[in-house]
Amino acid sequence: MNGLNISIPKAGEKSPLEEILKWVGDDLKKVDLEFRRNLISNVPIISAIGEHLLLSGGKRLRPILLLLSARACGYRGEAHISMASLIEFIHTATLLHDDVVDRAELRRGMESANAKWGNEACVLVGDFLFTKCFSLLVENGDKKVLQAISRATTLMAEGELEELIKTNDLTITEENYFSIIKRKTAALFSAATQVGAILGEASEEQERALLDFGMDIGIAFQLIDDSLDYTSREEEFGKKIGIDLQDGKITLPLIFTLRQCNEEESALIRGAVFTDP
């Protein structure tokens, strides 16, 4: 990992996203409004937890990719707003479930929803978001969109389960690692760009290219996230540092490190992985 220099913008610094938001900023505001509208329920805790996650920030990368992809393919309707909102519904549901699995206390620098409302409520609200999303997709009636998003959610669940199975497994290979992150993270990025292409009635070749582009963006996102767990600071990262190692998640930085270790160094790392916090 020599020479790796990953940083995230500090307060007051311009982000590359600001240039992108010139193109989709207005649509993104509509996406947030649609998200809130779809959260409306007779059960108040659903809206409360959803609003908590919205207020905690986040870059809305997946909705942005869908909006940009649709626009790039010539789409000029309004369905991209609701589809981008549903992509964010899926992402939000996975955040709720992930924080329960990871026993997280922070999310984007704020108290995590499970720390505030408890694991049971967050699992159930995550379930609500998944089911609400697919209910709205059925109402939309576009079979290709439904297939793209349902395939992504299936892959995400498989990736999360494979990661769980590989916990504390120091024999995990680079191939295993990429298999996990392609499914648990990159699949939803890929679905976002693919749905944008579908809405824009792109050619099969264009749709494939955008699907692959989304996959590559998702892989890059997870690579950076996993690296920041070792190199960043809590106030920048928005969550505790070193949690992957503490939880026995063997990510690429550790895989690369183990390759370079002698026997004594490898034993030290094994002790860190297999020692209860």
- Render pLDDT for 8-61 as a digit per residue (tens, 0 to 9): 555 566 677 778 888 888 999 999 999 999 988 899 899 898 888 887 777 899
Nearest alpha-carbon partner for 8 in 234, 177, 253, 185: 234
| Rounded CA separation 6/228 (Å) | 7
| pLDDT band at residue 2 under the 50/70/90 scheme | very low
| pLDDT band at residue 83 under the 50/70/90 scheme | very high
SS3 content of the chain, % helix, strand, coil (to 5): 75, 0, 25
First to last CA, the chain: 26
Average pLDDT score over residue span 221-232: 90
Please, what is the Cα angle at 25 between 22 and 30, to 5 degrees? 160
| 3-class state of residue 7 by DSSP | coil
Residue whose token pair is 């369905």 = 79
Higher pLDDT, 56 or 124: 124
pTM for the model = 0.86
- Which domains, ranges and CATH numbers included, belong to the chain? 17-274 (1.10.600.10)
| 3-class state of residue 107 by DSSP | strand
